[in-house]
Structure 1
Amino acid sequence: MTRSSATESTRVYRASPDPADHRLAHELAEAAGELLMGMRDELRGAELRAAGDRRSNQLLLARLAEERPEDAILSEESADDRSRLSADRVWIIDPLDGTREYAEPGRLDWAVHVALWSGGHLAAGAVCLPAADLTYSTWRPAESCPAPEDPVVLISRSRPPAVLEKLLAGWPATPRPMGSAGAKTATVLAGRATAYVHGGGQYEWDSAAPVAVAVASGWRVRRLDGSAPRYNQSDVWLPDMVICHPDAAPDVWAALDAAE
């Protein structure tokens, strides 16, 4: 088994057998997105960023307490309740991914992430891009589409991956900076980019929902070293991720393995 083959989808995502979990993830992400859009008309700058993180988190926590009171929660905006490590089900949420972009008027590349982890695997998820009126989820996965004719790789606006130069030496593509892991994942799922490569530091809530949605939609996922991402870990630091169109994955994986 090569390092790249270690990313079989069943090691990352196994769909919840309860359709209500998938629908709830979708609806929660959209509800938080609607709240955040309304706030954009009321506040500006640092006040908007702080209030957006806080209020979106409050909404998601309240809805989960109502809808799934027995489940644990791991949120970027809440203290880590370590009891989640022995829980059967854990919601992993990023109430506002791309906070900087959210506060920049007119930008679309920010998102709400809602994912469910269960039994060692991601089990449901949703990524909502409110300003683009777009939601991808395991309830409504992306439809298959061809990879772009001219390869495009999406990277962080502020922390481009150190491996980028070596990757492009083995797989020529046009790098394009963009905010929010969710926004980059949605762009790949829409067929407007070939891959999203991140290597500048992230946490579980940054990638859980994007990974769940990508795998459920048939796209390929791995870490830079070829291993499969793992969630609901004691250390929630998960600094790198690659999401790629399935047709391009062999070439991208080969270039990444050569770059390591």
Structure 2
Amino acid sequence: MPATDLDLLVEAAKQAGDIACRYTGATARRWDKPDGTGPVTEADLAVNAMLEDKLQQARPDYGWLSEETEDTPDRLGRNRVFIIDPIDGTRSFAEGASTWAHSLAIAEAGEVIAAVIYLPQRQLLYSAAKGHGATCNGQPIQVSPVDDLSAAEVLAAKPSLVAQNWQNGTPPAFIRMHRPSLAYRLARVADGRFGAMLTLRPSWEWDIAAGALILQEAGGVITDRAGDRLRFNNAQPRLNGVVAGNPALHHAIITALAPAQTGPTGH
């Protein structure tokens, strides 16, 4: 990996934060996307325009996948691809909260090799390069040592706990917590604040890619809900849910999950 790829993502993320913070979330113009896929604001579009211009000028041979750019098959023929969520947690942004993030990643041959998650209003910048560990604000981070699921704080939405998602119809005992941004959830598992996270609905790659590498480089394990390795830059850029945590907690959750049912069963 070129040594400057991570530096490029860090610089771009900071510029994204400068742009997004010029908007007052609750008063930013907002639209609902077609097919109930969620809201978008003028801040999302402004950040996306800057990132697309800056990153593609810097790496014209890399493909491009972003939540706010119409997808094309061109990226499938590229060895490396940017995977971008200009603002992950748009609903929180629009409500004036601070738990939204910029999520920037570069994948090579389906595997993330550089990643940044930046929460400008919380002054938290997580980053990782494959094989070089993960940091928050320049300091090394590591997943939680808690290995007892019943004592662990796990980030999960309430629908994930419905009986049909679990062996014998009973979810395991753990302390359920929640944060609105998937990127933020993965970052907080990576830095050890929470033991694990799960989302059982199909998940967009741009919500997961950056956090996947940061968590792995912090000593964690991340797979889809079936326990299969995540691969990025798919023709249909959605993953079969996500389970992430330290090795012990990840194993405990995967073992307790029932086989996936048809259709979405949790958030």
Q: Which residue of 1 aligns with 2:43?
A: 52
Q: State yes or no: 1:34 paired with 2:18.
A: yes
Q: What's the offset of the Cα at 1:114? A: 0.6
Q: Distance in 1 between matches of 2:144 and 2:74?
A: 43
Output the amino acid matched with 1:144.
Q
Output the amino acid matched with 2:144.
P
Q: Which residue of 1 aligns with 2:264?
A: none
Where structure 2 has 5 or more consecutive residues not aligned to the other structure, the ranges are: 32-38, 136-140, 260-267
Q: Distance in 2 between matches of 1:29 and 1:163?
A: 39
Q: State yes or no: 1:141 paired with 2:131.
A: no
Q: Which residue of 2 aligns with 1:237?
A: 238
Distance 1:172 1:116, change over 3 A: same
Aligned residue pairs, count: 240
Q: Distance in 2 between matches of 1:75 and 1:253?
A: 29
Contact 2:143 2:218 in 1 (8 A): no
Higher relative contact order (CA 8 A, sep 6+): 1
Contact 2:26 2:93 in 1 (8 A): no
Residues 79-137 of structure 1: per-residue CA shift (max 9 Å, x gap):
112111111111010111110001112x2221111111112321111111122110111
Q: State yes or no: 1:251 paired with 2:252.
A: yes
Contact 1:161 1:198 in 2 (8 A): no
Q: Which residue of 2 aligns with 1:119?
A: 109
Distance 1:253 1:199, change over 3 A: closer
Q: Distance in 2 between matches of 1:217 and 1:137?
A: 10
TM-score, normalised by the number of residues in structure 2: 0.80
Which runs of structure 2 are paired with 1:215-226 in the superposition (5 Å)?
Answer: 215-226=216-227
Q: Which residue of 2 aligns with 1:9?
A: none
TM-score, normalised by the number of residues in structure 1: 0.82
Q: Which residue of 2 aligns with 1:12?
A: none
Which of the two has greater strand per residue? 2
Contact 2:101 2:120 in 1 (8 A): yes
Q: Distance in 2 between matches of 1:40 and 1:244?
A: 34
Contact 2:163 2:171 in 1 (8 A): no
Output the amino acid matched with 2:3.
P
Q: Which residue of 1 aligns with 2:182?
A: 181
Q: Distance in 2 between matches of 1:171 and 1:147?
A: 19
Q: Secondary structure at the match of 1:38?
A: coil
Q: Secondary structure at the match of 2:183?
A: helix
Q: Which residue of 1 aligns with 2:36?
A: none
Q: Which residue of 1 aligns with 2:74?
A: 83
Q: Distance in 2 between matches of 1:163 and 1:212?
A: 31
Q: What's the offset of the Cα at 1:31? A: 1.8
Contact 1:49 1:99 in 2 (8 A): yes
Distance 1:89 1:151, change over 3 A: same
Contact 2:143 2:220 in 1 (8 A): no
Where structure 1 has 5 or more consecutive residues not aligned to the other structure, the ranges are: 1-16
Q: Distance in 1 between matches of 2:95 and 2:44?
A: 15
Q: Distance in 2 between matches of 1:41 and 1:174?
A: 31
Q: What's the offset of the Cα at 1:146? A: 3.3
Q: Distance in 1 between matches of 2:124 and 2:46?
A: 21
Q: Distance in 2 between matches of 1:253 and 1:206?
A: 20
Q: Which residue of 2 aligns with 1:198?
A: 199
Contact 2:88 2:182 in 1 (8 A): yes
Q: What's the offset of the Cα at 1:24? A: 1.5
Contact 1:188 1:196 in 2 (8 A): yes
Contact 1:161 1:199 in 2 (8 A): no
Q: What's the offset of the Cα at 1:145? A: 5.0
Q: Which residue of 2 aligns with 1:19?
A: 3
Distance 1:165 1:172, change over 3 A: farther
